[in-house]
Chains A and B, each alone.
Chain A
């Protein structure tokens, strides 16, 4: 239930949604992940992969909001890259 890791979709294969999948890169190591349940995902998107299956596309805007929230609440400096 827990271990899902963000990876970058390198390409997408398969027209049939049940079989849709593609190689996803996790920091350079590549694993084929099912993309059945992320029909809007595009090459270059980041997906959360769990047990060989993409759970969702990572929302990059929301990702940044975590830091905005902290900046509003306190005096968090610019995050280190």
Chain B
């Protein structure tokens, strides 16, 4: 497939890894922000191509993982109402609230449906005028324009039976929260390429300056990620701390202004609680007053309540990049994809799930071949 296959090419990937190995002279710790990047790193074994001096830490870039438990509880409550058709992205269905997840609600008779797009949920609303269609609006800035479009279209059509349960979160505040933490070890960031496609690069410049960290907007294919790492390390080796763009085929400096306008029209910045991290001020999007009638939290009388997380689960430290999944005592034992304790094991994007799936359970079987054995056949 065009614009995908070229960036999975073995020769190019190895060439890039070779250059990286050549220029690295000191130890560096980088964070890839996006869950999709974590997924690719695990899947393609990118971390095993890196010089020993380069450490990758997995960031909180999994909007599914970081959705607050209280919101999932509300989703479960709304989805259980008989008049509701509850629409969600697939990976949200298995995230547990305090006890059950949306898949369980479906098994108990709730009308829970997987959709590929918020626009599909809108279509369901039009086709089912006697039902209330609720869309679980999860995602970073990448997904916010699609949600905004659905709401804007709903308003244009005068739909009375469509609403959103909003859980959109923003990347820059999360990065700042990590960087301003006293135990921060992150020296450079691979920024989430598709978030940057929408939002551009400008909002990362103050962060790079204030904390003196290189930030490289990076894509999602193996070659993109390696090149993003290469560009970050190059900056660190040269003592620079700038915003650079590895993913220029998709990211423009100013981003997509139409999409930004759409977001601004429909949403406003709000405080948001991140699962495993806590509340980060001004880190989420919520519907503006003018669109308040499309807010499912207004339309349905459901309370989330305050929620206790499992004491065994160290999702928070993993999301902040302080620990790795295999360092968790519950990893692979009490906590597995079949019975997850926290968000990072539930979503296939979560660092713990990715580790489990691609590296095996427990520290014993890390991978099926060590770096020394792994030569390109």
Contact = CB atoms under 8 A, between A and B. Distances in A.
Touching chains A and B, CB distance < 8 Å: yes
A52 B34 CA distance: 20
A1 B250 contact: no
Contact of B142 (A55, A58, A70, A74): A55
A56 B11 contact: no
B18 A74 contact: yes
Nearest to A71: B15
B1 A1 contact: no
Interface in A21-76: 26-27, 31, 34, 36-39, 46, 48, 50-53, 55-56, 58-60, 62-63, 65-67, 69-70, 73-76
B281 to A, nearest CB: 20
Nearest to A3: B36
Interface in B59-96: 61, 63, 89
Given A4-B197, A65-B248, A70-B19, A55 B11 contact: no
A6 B139 contact: no
B149 interface: yes
B141 to A, nearest CB: 7
Interface of B is mostly: helix
A39 B258 CA distance: 9
Nearest to B22: A74
Contacts of A18: 149, 152-153, 156
Contact of A76 (B7, B15, B140, B262): B15
Interface string B298-318: 000000000000000000000
Nearest to B263: A37
A53 B152 contact: no
Contacts of B63: 1
Contact of B7 (A37, A59, A66): A66
Interface of A: 1-6, 8, 17-19, 26-27, 31, 34, 36-39, 46, 48, 50-53, 55-56, 58-60, 62-63, 65-67, 69-70, 73-77, 79-80
Closest 3 CB pairs of A and B: A2-B36, A52-B117, A1-B140
Interface of B: 1-4, 6-7, 9, 11-12, 15-16, 18-19, 22, 34-37, 39, 61, 63, 89, 116-120, 139-143, 145-146, 149, 152-153, 156, 171, 192, 194-195, 197-198, 220, 223-224, 227, 230, 246, 248-252, 256, 258-259, 262, 349
